[in-house]
């Protein structure tokens, strides 16, 4: 009687436990997300009741609205709004059944009136479920630190690092002679649930001897950090781009007027906004550096927003970051509850975190940034920029390529948030782009920059010099 080779016997004996473990994991995930479906449907009615009591003009949720109705109604403001905002784009049989049952039991009482009742020309914040501390509403009072301000004009909070004299040796007196040429400008755009601190607390601080002759701007995107967080804004790609234009297009920066030009550096979600900004101002952009860009194949653009949601917020329990993304992206009301507990009480959590860690200087900027937004701004930005913006990227990339703007992409090989394949797809779309993929071994979505700030600054400067070089010089260094 023939016997299986030892390797085959081992493979056969371990195959069924792996399949069983996979099936158990899938079943557990299905059960967890089914519970979240029920919770989200119940919370829909809870928040409708509370908003109706606590707000004069409640902002209606997306459970009972249809994307098709908005488009058929001729709502031009609905352009660039992602279908994933609506329950139909995040369909769940369990959730639909609960909502159908509750609608017939409770009726339409408690449902908030349409958000069109909110005057679109007047930004409003905070809502009752948002934080109203001095830091979170500073944008309503005029100019803020770093030129951020806000008020009705909607100017973003901007951190500016002016050019500094070069200092080779910390023990020697700094030279009083600054660079003789006009400094070049660079705009840094952060990613989702982050802020200008991602750049200002890292690259700006660690690169004084590298980027000393550049003027650096790090913006807090609309709805994040110390920038305005209006409760009646859709936070589309165009809204973010226009906010950057308002904030950097007027004195003292004036980057969008006259002969102003700049380099662009963006991380994660910020890459989508940076490409849209570059496509709108192709003659002003000198180079683009994309760090962990969320880009998907052009053949998937028919349902680009749904593809992005399924890829970046897949319904899985592991890793924890992916589970958190799924909860905050698929469940409007569960996500709002998380923000009510965490973001509205961020000062308490920061104090507890400092007490637990024994750090009296304050919490790490990455922890602080996770709470410096509202649910409305994060929810809409997630769907209208990360998901809805996926359908715009090919058009913007074509405009960038036509303008001959130098582009490079940097990606961590161990990135579990944005798949490293996204940069490979980008390379296929822009075959002449200077691309660094899989070079950043043992680097993930954040550590592709954090922990190697000086190296990253040196890479930026080398690319900026290369992008500003003459065509003959570029050909000589094309292989670097």
pLDDT digits (tens, 9 = 90+) for 1-40: 555 555 555 455 667 777 777 788 889 999 999 999 999 9
Chain segment 413-452, per-residue pLDDT in tens: 999 899 998 988 888 888 777 666 656 889 999 999 999 9
Chain segment 109-140, per-residue pLDDT in tens: 444 444 443 334 455 667 899 998 888 888 87
| SS3 category, 182 | coil
Out of 195, 227, 247, 268, which one is annotated catalytic?
268
The residues, ordered by sequence, that sit 6+ positions from 372 with a Cβ below 8 Å of its Cβ are 135, 136, 195, 224, 225, 226, 343, 346
Chain segment 68-89, per-residue pLDDT in tens: 655 544 445 566 889 899 877 7
- Spatial separation of the C-alpha atoms in residues 261 and 284, rounded to whole Å: 4
Task: Spell 135-151 as b/e; 16+ CB within 10 A means b.
Answer: ebbbbbeeebebbbbbe
What pLDDT, on a 0 to 100 scale, did the predictor assign at position 143?
A: 41
Which structure tokens are listed for 286? 């000198």
Closest residue by Cα to residue 431 from 462, 409, 411, 459: 409
What pLDDT, on a 0 to 100 scale, did the predictor assign at position 232?
A: 84
Least confident of 306-310, 383-387, 452-456, 470-474: 470-474
The DSSP symbol for 233 reads -
Is position 190 annotated as part of the catalytic site?
yes
Chain segment 170-197, per-residue pLDDT in tens: 444 444 444 456 789 999 999 998 999 9
- Calculate mean pLDDT across residues 85-96: 78
- Spatial separation of the C-alpha atoms in residues 103 and 42, rounded to whole Å: 11
The residues, ordered by sequence, that sit 6+ positions from 122 with a Cβ below 8 Å of its Cβ are 152
Give residue 151's region: left, alpha or beta (phi > 0; psi -120 to 50): left
Tell me the CB-side half-sphere exposure of residue 314, using CA atoms within 13 A.
11
- Spatial separation of the C-alpha atoms in residues 213 and 265, rounded to whole Å: 17
| SS3 category, 343 | coil
Out of 157, 190, 281, 411, which one is annotated catalytic?
190
Chain segment 288-317, per-residue pLDDT in tens: 999 999 997 755 445 778 888 988 999 999
Tell me the CB-side half-sphere exposure of residue 451, using CA atoms within 13 A.
9
CB distance 99 to 41 below 8 Å = yes
Q: How confident is the model at residue 51 (pLDDT cuts 50, 70, 90)?
A: very high
- Spatial separation of the C-alpha atoms in residues 156 and 195, rounded to whole Å: 11
What pLDDT, on a 0 to 100 scale, did the predictor assign at position 12?
A: 56
- Calculate mean pLDDT across residues 280-289: 94
The residues, ordered by sequence, that sit 6+ positions from 24 with a Cβ below 8 Å of its Cβ are none
Closest residue by Cα to residue 184 from 209, 211, 146, 156: 211
The residues, ordered by sequence, that sit 6+ positions from 75 with a Cβ below 8 Å of its Cβ are none
With a cut of 80, say whether residue 264 has pLDDT above it.
yes
With a cut of 80, say whether residue 362 has pLDDT above it.
no
Closest residue by Cα to residue 385 from 276, 230, 256: 276
Chain segment 326-357, per-residue pLDDT in tens: 999 999 999 999 999 999 999 999 888 888 87
CATH class of 154-163+182-468: alpha beta
Task: Spell 207-237 as b/e; 16+ CB within 10 A means b.
Answer: bbebbbbbbbbbbbbbbbbbbbbbbbbbbbb
Closest residue by Cα to residue 255 from 321, 317, 183, 346: 183
Least confident of 30-34, 199-203, 207-211, 259-263: 207-211
What pLDDT, on a 0 to 100 scale, did the predictor assign at position 415?
A: 92
- Calculate mean pLDDT across residues 139-151: 49
CB distance 422 to 296 below 8 Å = yes
- Spatial separation of the C-alpha atoms in residues 104 and 280, rounded to whole Å: 48
Q: In the chain, where does the domain assigned CATH 3.40.50.1820 lie?
A: 154-163+182-468
With a cut of 50, say whether residue 476 has pLDDT above it.
no
pTM, two decimals, is: 0.86
Is position 445 annotated as part of the catalytic site?
yes
Is position 425 annotated as part of the catalytic site?
no
- Spatial separation of the C-alpha atoms in residues 315 and 329, rounded to whole Å: 10
Out of 220, 239, 369, 415, which one is annotated catalytic?
415
- Calculate mean pLDDT across residues 272-287: 96
């Amino acid at each position: 009687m023939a016997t299986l080779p030892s390797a085959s016997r081992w493979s056969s004996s371990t195959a069924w436990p792996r399949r069983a473990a996979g099936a158990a994991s899938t079943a557990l995930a299905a059960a967890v997300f089914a519970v979240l479906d029920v919770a989200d449907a119940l919370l829909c009615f809870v928040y409708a009741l509370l908003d109706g009591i606590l707000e004069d003009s409640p902002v209606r949720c997306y459970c009972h609205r249809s994307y098709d109705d908005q488009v058929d109604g001729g709502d031009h403001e609905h352009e660039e709004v992602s279908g994933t905002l609506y329950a139909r784009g995040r369909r769940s049989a369990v959730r639909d059944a609960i909502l159908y049952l509750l609608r017939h039991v409770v009726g339409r009482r408690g449902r908030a009136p349409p958000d069109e009742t909110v005057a679109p020309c007047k930004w409003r914040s905070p809502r009752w479920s948002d934080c109203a501390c001095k830091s979170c509403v500073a944008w309503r009072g005029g100019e803020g630190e770093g030129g951020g301000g806000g008020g009705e004009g909607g100017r973003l909070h901007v951190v500016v690092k002016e050019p500094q004299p070069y200092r080779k040796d910390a023990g020697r007196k700094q030279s009083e002679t600054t660079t003789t040429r006009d400094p070049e400008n660079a705009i840094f755009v952060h990613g989702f649930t982050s802020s200008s601190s991602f750049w200002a607390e890292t690259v700006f601080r660690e690169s004084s001897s590298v980027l000393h002759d550049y003027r650096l701007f790090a913006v807090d995107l609309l709805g994040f950090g110390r920038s305005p967080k209006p409760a009646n804004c859709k936070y589309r790609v165009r809204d973010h781009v226009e906010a950057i234009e308002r904030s950097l297009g007027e004195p003292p920066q004036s980057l969008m007027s006259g002969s102003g030009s700049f380099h662009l550096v963006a991380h994660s979600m910020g890459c989508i906004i940076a490409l849209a900004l570059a496509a709108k101002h192709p003659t002003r952009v000198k180079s683009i550096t994309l760090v962990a860009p969320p880009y998907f194949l052009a053949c998937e653009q028919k349902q680009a927003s749904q593809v992005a949601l399924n890829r970046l917020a897949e319904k899985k329990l592991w890793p924890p970051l992916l589970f958190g993304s799924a909860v905050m992206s698929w469940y409007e009301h569960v996500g709002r509850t998380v923000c009510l507990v965490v973001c509205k009480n961020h000062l308490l959590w920061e104090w507890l975190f400092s007490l637990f860690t024994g750090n009296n200087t304050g919490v790490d900027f990455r922890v602080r940034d996770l709470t410096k937004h509202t649910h409305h701004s994060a929810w809409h930005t997630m769907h209208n920029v990360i998901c809805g913006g996926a359908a715009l990227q090919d058009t913007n990339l074509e405009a960038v390529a036509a303008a001959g703007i130098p582009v490079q992409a940097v990606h961590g090989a161990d990135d579990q948030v944005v798949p490293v394949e996204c940069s490979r797809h980008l390379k296929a779309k822009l075959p002449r782009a200077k691309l660094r993929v899989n070079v950043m071994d043992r680097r993930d979505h954040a550590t592709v920059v954090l922990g190697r700030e000086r190296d990253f600054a040196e890479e930026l400067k080398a690319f900026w010099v290369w992008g500003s070089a003459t065509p003959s010089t570029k050909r000589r260094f094309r292989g670097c």
